[in-house]
Amino acid sequence: MKSWPLLAAAAAIARAQFCEHQWQGQFAKREDQPPHLEIQKRQTTTPPPPLEIKPLIVSGPSENRVDLIFFGDGYTEAEKDKFFDDAMALATELTDGRTFADVLPVMNWWAGFTASNESGIGVGGVPKDTVYGLYRDGTELRGVYYDKPDVARAACSSTTACDYPLLLGNDDLYGGLGGEFTVTTASCVNGAVILRHELGHSIIGVGEEYDGGEVYRGVNSAPNGDSVPWKSWYSSPEREPDVQRSNMPIQAYPWTLLNTTSAWSTSFPSAGTYDSYSLQFSISGVSATEDLMVTLDGEDVGWKYKEGVGLDRIIYRLPFRDAKLSGGMHNLTFELLNKELEGTAQLCNFEVLEYGTADEQFNFTIGHNSLYPTYDIRNQTTYRPTNDLCLMRDVYTSEFCDACIEGLWRALLTPLKLIDNVTQTPADPSTPGATKVELALLPLADLRKIPNNATESYVITWFGQDDAAVLDEWANKTTAVLGPEVGSFGVEVRFVSSQIRGDPQGVTRQKERYSVQK
């Protein structure tokens, strides 16, 4: 059991690693057990680093909440305040009206500081002298790996505030990892983007929704139109299975440094039978529209640099809803125009998608639940629930799709109890011997401090001496008064939410019996 007093006192004062398009994380193997329960089993003989733990966002007693904690890497003693500020900024970005806002009442967020001897993270496969040894493997802004997993395990095991350990690297650029430890950086552009996506993997236990990945599984993935986990979320169930018509003629991860001497170019075929298309690509090291020219068949695609990104990596999506690709071969070219950026500007990845006729063959409506094809790194097809709504597909959106938010609820509620506490006190003196029973529930539904947009309620049923004696007068109330003749009582609590349409494991229901304390 976790110890809330210990946490309160603290507040007062790889290799199992996963990277974009690689799936090696321990969470990928958890079929029958919630990820954070498996995490609690970590054992290590490595001594833990000294930790200064502070609360960021605390919703309740840790023994009945899911705890996430940032462990800082590459922050020196002089940068301690920066670490706590970075951690708070990330926690706020993920919970303030978006992503985890709906489930925030069942979560606690913490930050644990240990000073590193060097500032920043390693590059070129060489870690710096830091607590957890975070480093980049090469020049690309992609994965950030950890060299000292035993130290991270020891840190997590040393506190009762660690269900999901988050390693936060003191670095301003894109990079992260999922797996036993979720890794992100302090990048203002991408830190929260990476963290929310990787936590989707770690907590919900789902695979990707974007194209070009390796693992597609969980509540947001279907191998065909018969085995679909989100059938209850179909927007037009009478039309399903209704596979949305699309095609991916090309997708690649060049990770190539661009130069002004020769443009980077590739060709791909199109059948010419689709009604529209889109181009998506990610680049880093480019800081102005004038630095780069992107053309398709010799025509400028109209790419514009996104202000504020700096040299960080970012993904650009260019939809062409009123144009189609003709049948035959096409040429896609990336041409660097600024010689000063040679050795810095990099083309990370790109893909072209084609779509059937809008509404008739492909539904572009945001939030429409159906069967949308997803193409893995081998161009094999699985299906996802929505087009581009979910952050597991478009990492720059801050919302989960319906199937994922339902999966998030199930995963978080699995280890918890709806009833935080039960207290018994003597009732009003006018009824001698009577007992007043009060339930403290998870702060959901009308107990929320900050309302959300979902429809929620608690359904509460009280029972007398046995379950056949239903006490209707206290229905849906958190307080009941029991007469002196009652020696025991029961209570059943059900959490009902418009975000949960199926509960095969019964995690939204708790039924208990208690003896009356005389």
- For 471-486, the pLDDT digits (tens) are 999 999 999 999 999 9
How remote is the C-alpha of 436 from its chain's centroid? Answer: 41
Residue 16 token pair? 């199992």
- The mean of the pLDDT values for the chain is 92
Q: What is the 3-state secondary structure (H, E, C) of 480-492?
A: EEECCCCCEEEEE
Where helices occur in 27-184 by DSSP H, the ranges are 35-39, 80-95, 149-157
- Burial of 316 per CB tally in 10 Å (0-12, 13-18, 19+): middle
Residue 371 token pair? 């069967």
Between vectors from CA 391 to CA 56 and to CA 187, what angle results, nearest 5°?
50
Where helices occur in 393-461 by DSSP H, the ranges are 402-413
Cis peptide before 241 (omega within 30 of 0): yes
Start-end of CATH 2.60.120.1200 domains in the chain: 232-410
Q: Per CATH, which fold does 4-204 belong to?
A: Collagenase (Catalytic Domain) (3.40.390)
**pLDDT of amino acid 428:** 84
The residue with tokens 């990707």 is 208
Query: DSSP letter at 231?
Result: G
Query: DSSP letter at 47?
Result: P
- Tally of residues, the chain: 518
- For 174-203, the pLDDT digits (tens) are 999 988 999 999 999 999 999 999 999 999
More confident residue, 134 or 430: 134
**pLDDT of amino acid 431:** 81
Residue 206 token pair? 């789902």
Rounded average pLDDT over 321-329: 98
**pLDDT of amino acid 41:** 52
Question: Under CATH, which number does the domain 417-515 receive?
Answer: 2.60.40
* Under 8 Å between Cβ of 7 and 142: no
**pLDDT of amino acid 45:** 85
Query: DSSP letter at 439?
Result: E
Q: What is the 3-state secondary structure (H, E, C) of 244-285?
A: CCEEEEEEECCCEECCCCCCEEEEEEECCCCCEEEEEEEEEC
Cβ neighbours of residue 347 closer than 8 Å, sequence gap 6 or more: 254, 255, 256, 258, 264, 281, 283, 334
Rounded average pLDDT over 281-286: 98
CA separation for the pair 379, 462 (Å, rounded): 55
- For 233-282, the pLDDT digits (tens) are 999 999 999 999 999 999 999 999 999 999 999 999 999 999 999 999 99
Instruction: Give the CA distances from residue 294 to residues 277, 336, 345, in Å, rounded to whole numbers and listed in that order.
Output: 16, 9, 13
- DSSP string for residues in 186-213: --TTTHHHHHHHHHIIIII-----STT-
* Of the candidates 198, 230, 238, the residue with the CA atom closest to the CA atom of residue 372: 230
Which residue(s) pair with 277 in the sheet?
Answer: 320, 354
CATH (one of 3.40.50.300, 2.60.40.420, 2.60.120.1200, 3.40.50.720) for 232-410: 2.60.120.1200
CA separation for the pair 90, 176 (Å, rounded): 14
CA dihedral 125, 129, 133, 134 (to 10 degrees): -60
CA separation for the pair 518, 515 (Å, rounded): 9
Rounded average pLDDT over 139-143: 88
* Of the candidates 332, 317, 333, the residue with the CA atom closest to the CA atom of residue 282: 317
Rounded average pLDDT over 492-498: 99
Instruction: Give the CA distances from residue 230 to residues 219, 361, 384, in Å, rounded to whole numbers and listed in that order.
Output: 7, 20, 9
- For 290-317, the pLDDT digits (tens) are 999 999 999 999 999 999 999 999 999 9
**pLDDT at residue 1 is higher than 80:** no
User: For residues 98-133, b (16+ Cβ closer than 10 Å) or e, as one string?
Assistant: bbbbbbbbbbbbbbbbbbbeebbbbeeeebbebbbb
Start-end of CATH 2.60.40 domains in the chain: 417-515
